[in-house]
Structure formats: structure tokens, C-alpha cells
Amino acid sequence: MEQYIIKGGKALQGEVSIGGAKNAALGIIAAAIMTDETVTIDNLPDIRDINVLLQAIEEIGAKVERVNKHTVKINGKNIDSISIDYEFIRKIRASYYLLGALLGKYKRAQVALPGGCNIGSRPIDQHIKGFEALGASVRIEHGMIEAEAVELMGNHIYLDMASVGATINIMLAACLADGQTILENSAKEPHIVDVANFLNSMGANIKGAGTDVIRIKGVKALKGSEYAIIPDQIEAGTFMLAAAATKGNVLIKNVIPKHLEAITAKLVEVGVTVEEYDDAVRVISTKRLGHAHIKTLPYPGFPTDMQPQMTALLAMSQGTSIVTESIFENRFKYVDELSRMGASIKVEGNTAIIDGVKGLTGAIVSAPDLRAGAALVIAGLVAEGFTFVEQVEYIERGYEDFERKMQSIGASMEKIDVEDEKAIRKFKLRVS
């Protein structure tokens, strides 16, 4: 079992480059199997979630050729199964995008039903409602969702909530339906636009992605394409907050500053300077930061996937901050870990009340999920002494070369096996 060991207290300095968006890549890989022609996807992040989804499509017969670390060629011509089993869905929920993709292409799909997860129960009723509106019959049996249609027909669908997953899944299936689908109250996240742009590059006819009404005119077939994925908003935001929390000065390259506006606005509010360039942002922080009130909301609001990192930053800021989580019911589990580092945070329902403390102290903590893990790393970068973040496999689901990128901007952070006492001692000696 590996852990990150961090010696806190160094201001991050320098430049770091952001990789492709995980959540866009998950939708795009599923979409790629919807044509019999070859698709080339570039700027793919080399992270666990993506590699598992690539394995899942290989398992059902797709040809996956890794051209290099960040480029893959996919050919879905020889797919010979429409069934994705629990092994994959257990590792990444987003393998349920294969439901929409397979249903669209083969009019049949069978995917294991995702269970709850560390951030709360995550129903998929809206996905199912969408498939049914397109004419599929959907059954849940033996832990599997089976969707099947003689023909998919476009329809008018109104989502009860702006769900990212349901928007993408319905968009996938509707691309190859007969006639027009109008998807109202759709989610507007940048990765939805990216999946739509990719599908359009394959010959789909999708308009309005990025607004709350998406219109999809079904086409007969999709074709091959070459596509580069957008930069990851959350990876970028995480490095912005790490720079801010450590009183650093970091240029974060290969980003779309517009996607970072909600994060930038909050950083500016607490006293950070953020300079925006065409495809980069520089974050400069020189003093103890102030407090802020934050509520997570669907895009363009403050992203729930940045909530833990922001809470970690506010835990060390001056004054009382209030963070309200409005998307997921159980996303404050990591707060106990931050408290072990000296943070003063009280959680009441979906609200965290944070009394900023002057400093944190290093401790052994455990990442309960991906973004909470990143928050603990940010805390460790500031804390006095050594922080040991266990369960790094969660963090590696979404951050490529996290420790190496952090090292490149000056962090004293290494990934070492928990049992490797010699390496731990060596690291401690080197950075002390």
C-alpha cells in the first residue's frame, strides 16, 4: 500500500501543466465505441479511471491501441458483447456511460447497477427515465440494468435535476435514435460540451450543449474522428488552491480560464491574486487568506469536486467560513481527517462551519475519496511537519503523476510504500 509523505511549509513556485479532463474522457471513450470506424483520442489523462474504462471496452471486443501515454486509438467494430459486469462498475461508476453508448449503437445494453459510494447515494433514475422516453424498456435484475429497444425514437425529455451523468448518457443514446430529442434542464458542465463536440466530430447532430436545452437530431451512423480532450477543470483548480494555500506563485498552464471562473472568484475574494492568460492562470498568494462562504452548485456555480480542497484552504484562513454542499449528501467525511491535523470544522447536515486556525500540524490521515484525498494533500503541503496521506489509490483515480507534478513546483512530497521504512527514513532525512 502506498502513501504520500509530505513535508509541509514550502511555498509552491514555478509552472505546472494540466492534463486532459477525466470526466470528459470517460464520456468520450464510451462514445468512441459507437462507430465501427477508428477514433483517435488525444490529451487523454493517464489515470486509473480512464485505464479501467479502456479495459472495460476491450473486454467487450473493442480494439484499444495505446499510441502513447496520452493518445489512444479505439475501434468498436468487433464488439461482441453488450454486457459490462460489476468488476468495472465497482471500480468506476462512469462505466454506466456504456449503457447509453451500447443502447444507441446496438439497441441493447446490460450494465451492472452502480452501488452507493463514499460521497453518498447516487441514484440513476434520470438516466433510466431518459432511456425509457427514447423507447427502451429498462429492467433491473440480478444487480444488472438491462435496456433494450426495437427502435429508439427521439423525444422531449425534462430532467428533474441537472445531472451530468444523465445528460451525457441520454445524449449518447439519442445520437443514433430516429428523429429529434430535446433534453431540457440538462447539465452545462464543460465536459458535457466536450462530449457533444466529440460526438459532432463523429457526425452526430447535437446543438445547445453548454446550455440547459440540448437538441439532438438522430443520425443513421457515426464515423471515425480525431479529437483532443479539453483540460481538466478540477486538476487545474486543485493546483490553484495548492498554490494559494502555500503562499506560492505558480503558473498553471494548459487550462481554459473561463472554466475556472467560479474558483478564481472565490480565491480573489479571500485575497489571492489570479492573473488570467489565454490558456494559463497564475496564482499568487502572499499573505494569510480571509474567509468566504461557498455553496456548491452545478456549472457555472462552484464545483462540488472542488469543495474538499476549498474547505482545506479555508481551514487555515482567517475568520469563519461556511461551506454548503448542495449536490452530494455525504461529502464531508474527510473533515475528521482535517480535524486530526488541527482544523476546527463543525459539520451540520450539508453545511460545514469552519473556524480558521493559524496553522495545521502533520498527521497520518487517510483519503476517503478522490477529491477529499487531494484536499488532505493541500493541507499536508501547509502543515508543520510530516503528513502521511494513505489510500492514495483514490487520488490516483483522477490525478496523473500527482506527486511528480507537485515536486516540479517545489513540494516536498513523495509516494512511498507504507512498509518501506528505509525509503521513508531517506525522504525524511533529505527534506529535514
Q: Which residue numbers are catalytic?
A: 117
Q: Distance between CA 30 and CA 384 in Å, rounded?
A: 44
Query: Which is closer to ligand UD1, CB of 43 or CB of 163?
Result: 163
Residue 127 CB, nearest approach to ligand UD1 (Å): 5
- The piece of 7-15, 50-58, 158-166, 270-278 that touches ligand UD1 (CB under 6 A) is 158-166
Q: Which of 88, 328, 334, 399 binds ligand UD1 (CB under 6 A)?
A: 328
Residue 210 CB, nearest approach to ligand UD1 (Å): 14
Q: Which of 94, 345, 413, 416 binds ligand UD1 (CB under 6 A)?
A: 94
Task: Provide the CB-side half-sphere exposure for 347 (13 A, CA).
Answer: 17
Q: Distance between CA 323 and CA 27 in Å, rounded?
A: 29
Residues 95-154 that bind ligand UD1 (CB under 6 A): 122-127
Measure Cα distances from 43 to 33, 68, 229, 281, 299 in Å. Answer: 18, 10, 5, 19, 23
Query: Which is closer to ligand UD1, CB of 232 or CB of 403?
Result: 232
Residue 81 CB, nearest approach to ligand UD1 (Å): 23
- The piece of 64-72, 156-164, 223-231, 309-317 that touches ligand UD1 (CB under 6 A) is 156-164
- Start-to-end CA span in the chain (Å): 24
User: Maximum Cα–Cα distance for the chain, whole Å?
Assistant: 67
**Over the range 149-160, which residues count as b (16 or more CB within 10 Å of their CB) and which as e?**
beebbbbebebe
Query: Which is closer to ligand UD1, CB of 328 or CB of 402?
Result: 328
What are residue 219's phi and psi, to 5 degrees? -120, 165
Quote the distance between the C-alpha of residue 301 and its chain's center.
15
Copy the grid coordinates of residue 192: 458535457
Residues 294-313 that bind ligand UD1 (CB under 6 A): 304-305
DSSP-assigned letter for residue 44? -
Residue 329 CB, nearest approach to ligand UD1 (Å): 7
Count, residues near ligand UD1 per rule CB under 6 A: 19
Asked if 405 is part of the footprint of ligand UD1 (rule: CB under 6 A), the reply reads no
Look at the alpha carbons of 193, 129, 62, 68 in this order and tell me if their dihedral is positive or negative. Answer: positive
Residue 363 CB, nearest approach to ligand UD1 (Å): 27
Label residue 432 exposed, middle or buried (CB < 10 Å: 0-12, 13-18, 19+).
exposed
DSSP string, 127-172: HHHHHHHTT-EEEEETTEEEEE-SS-B--EEE-SS--HHHHHHHHH
Q: Which of 3, 35, 163, 387 binds ligand UD1 (CB under 6 A)?
A: 163
**Over the range 391-429, which residues count as b (16 or more CB within 10 Å of their CB) and which as e?**
bbebbbbbbbbbbebbeebbbbbbbbeeeeeeebeebee
**What is the contact mask toward ligand UD1 in residues 23 to 62, using x (rule: CB under 6 A)?**
x--x------------------------------------
Query: Which is closer to ligand UD1, CB of 161 or CB of 221?
Result: 161
Residues 179-198 that bind ligand UD1 (CB under 6 A): 187
Copy the grid coordinates of residue 198: 466529440
Question: Between β-strands 344-348 and 351-355, what pairing exists: parallel, antiparallel or unpaired?
Answer: antiparallel
| CB-based contact 259:233 (threshold 8 Å) | yes
- The piece of 101-109, 137-145, 160-168, 264-272 that touches ligand UD1 (CB under 6 A) is 160-168
Which residues on adjacent β-strands are paired with residue 178?
Answer: 153
Look at the alpha carbons of 69, 75, 78, 79 in this order and tell me if their dihedral is positive or negative. Answer: positive
- Cβ-proximal residue to ligand UD1, closest one: 165
Q: Which of 164, 193, 343, 379 binds ligand UD1 (CB under 6 A)?
A: 164
Residue 122 CB, nearest approach to ligand UD1 (Å): 5
Residue 93 CB, nearest approach to ligand UD1 (Å): 6
- The piece of 5-13, 157-165, 176-184, 248-256 that touches ligand UD1 (CB under 6 A) is 157-165
Query: Which is closer to ligand UD1, CB of 73 or CB of 122?
Result: 122
**What is the contact mask toward ligand UD1 in residues 202 to 241, using x (rule: CB under 6 A)?**
----------------------------------------
Interface positions with ligand UD1 (CB under 6 A): 23, 26, 94, 122-127, 161, 163-166, 187, 304-305, 327-328
